[in-house]
Amino acid sequence: MATLRDVKKRIKTVESTERITKAMEMVAASKLRRAQQRVEETRPYSKKMDEMLSHLATGSTGDIVHPYFEERDVKKQTVVVFTSDRGLCGSFNANVIRKINGWMKKNSDVETEIVTVGKKASDLLKKHQNPLVGNFSDWGGSLEMGKARELVSFLSERFVAGETDRIILFFTRFLSTVRYKLVDELYLPIAKPDVSNNETKVNSYYIFEPTPEIIYSALMPSYVTTKMVTALVESFASEHGSRMMAMGNATKNAGEMRQTLTLEYNKARQGQITKELLEVISGAEALVG
C-alpha cells in the first residue's frame, strides 16, 4: 500500500504535469489563432488565382502550352506527406500515416517515391519500402516562404525533368478548431484549361496585354506556389488545433487524477490521525486504570 509520502509525491508530479499541459494548450491556442488567420487569408487568394487563370484561358485564341500541363503515362509518381515536426498533437500524425499507407497499398502497381514535410513523417516513413527522396522539416508549425519555395522548386524540377510523372499532396484540410479532413490532391500535372468554350469567350470583357498565353505561362510558377502554400497553412492550422485539443484533454485528465489522489491522501491522513488519537486515548485509559 502506498504511504502518505508516496501519495503526496504523486500529487506534486500530477500538478506539475497539469501546469505543463495547460501551458502547452495555451501556446497551441495562440498559434492556432495565427494559423487560422493565415488560412482565411490564403483561401480567397487561391480562389482568385483560379478565377483569374480561368479568365485567361477563356480569353485565349490558341492552345496554352506549359510543362506543368504535360500529361504522361504514370510509370512513377511522387507523394508528398504533410505531418508535424513535434508530437503531442493527438492522432494527427497517425491519421496521416494510416491514410498514406492505405493509399499506397491500393496503388502498389505504380512505382512510388515519398517526399516528407515535417519531421514526424520522415521518422515514420524512412524505413518504408518506398524510397524517401526528400525531407523538408523544422517548420516550427508556421509558414516560411523561403522553405516553401524550395519545396516547390524541388518538386517542379523533378516533374519537368521527367523524374516523376505525377505528384500528389497528402495533407489535412482545416475545417474548425476540433475538425480537420484528410485529403489527397493532385499537384502536378495541372489540369489543362478548356479554351473551346466559345460562349464564355463572347461574354468575356477582359483585354489582355500581352497575350493570355504569355500571361498564363508567367503565372504558372506562382500558381503552383500558391497551391503548396495553401496545403502548408491548412496542415499547420490542423496541427495546432489537434495539439490544443490533446493538451486540453491531458489537462482535464491530470486535474481529475489530482482530485482523486488528493481524496485518497485525505482519507489516508484522516485514518492515520484517527489511529493516533485512539492510541493516545488507550494509553491514557491504561494509566488511569
CA distance 57 to 115: 32
What helix, strand, coil percent values describe the chain, rounded to 5?
Answer: 60, 15, 25
**pLDDT bucket at 58, cuts 50 / 70 / 90:** low
Would you state the pLDDT for residue 147? Answer: 93
Query: Is residue 195 pLDDT above 80, yes or no?
Result: no
- Beta strand 166-176 with 132-136: parallel, antiparallel or unpaired? unpaired
Residue 203's identity, in one-letter code, is N
From the candidates 89, 190, 244, 245, give the one annotated as an active-site residue. Answer: 89
Would you state the pLDDT for residue 202? Answer: 41
Is 89 considered catalytic here?
Answer: yes
Would you state the pLDDT for residue 241? Answer: 93
- Supply φ then ψ for residue 108, to 5 degrees: -70, -10
C-alpha cell at 127: 524505413
Specify the pTM: 0.84
- Supply φ then ψ for residue 17, to 5 degrees: -65, -40
- Supply φ then ψ for residue 91, to 5 degrees: -95, 15
Q: For residue 168, list its beta bridge partners.
A: 79, 186
Query: Is residue 1 pLDDT above 70, yes or no?
Result: no
**pLDDT bucket at 135, cuts 50 / 70 / 90:** very high
In this structure, are residues 197 and 57 in contact, taking their beta carbons and an 8 Å threshold?
Answer: no
Find how far residue 194's CA is from the centre of its chain. Answer: 33
- Look over the chain and give the mean of its residue pLDDT values, rounded to a whole number: 86
More confident residue, 260 or 215: 260
Query: Is residue 286 pLDDT above 80, yes or no?
Result: no
Query: Is residue 199 pLDDT above 50, yes or no?
Result: no
Query: Is residue 232 pLDDT above 70, yes or no?
Result: yes
Would you state the pLDDT for residue 289? Answer: 59
Say how many C-beta atoms besides its own lie within 10 A of residue 127's C-beta: 7
Would you state the pLDDT for residue 209? Answer: 72
More confident residue, 63 or 88: 88
What does the pLDDT average to over 187-196?
74
Would you state the pLDDT for residue 194? Answer: 59
CA distance 235 to 238: 5
Q: Is 90 left (phi over 0), alpha (psi -120 to 50) or beta?
A: left
Query: Is residue 268 pLDDT above 90, yes or no?
Result: no
Query: Is residue 185 pLDDT above 50, yes or no?
Result: yes
What one-character DSSP code corresponds to residue 82?
Answer: E
Residues in the chain: 289
CA distance 48 to 55: 11
C-alpha cell at 276: 493516533
Would you state the pLDDT for residue 288? Answer: 75
Domains of the chain, start order: 28-244 (3.40.1380.10)
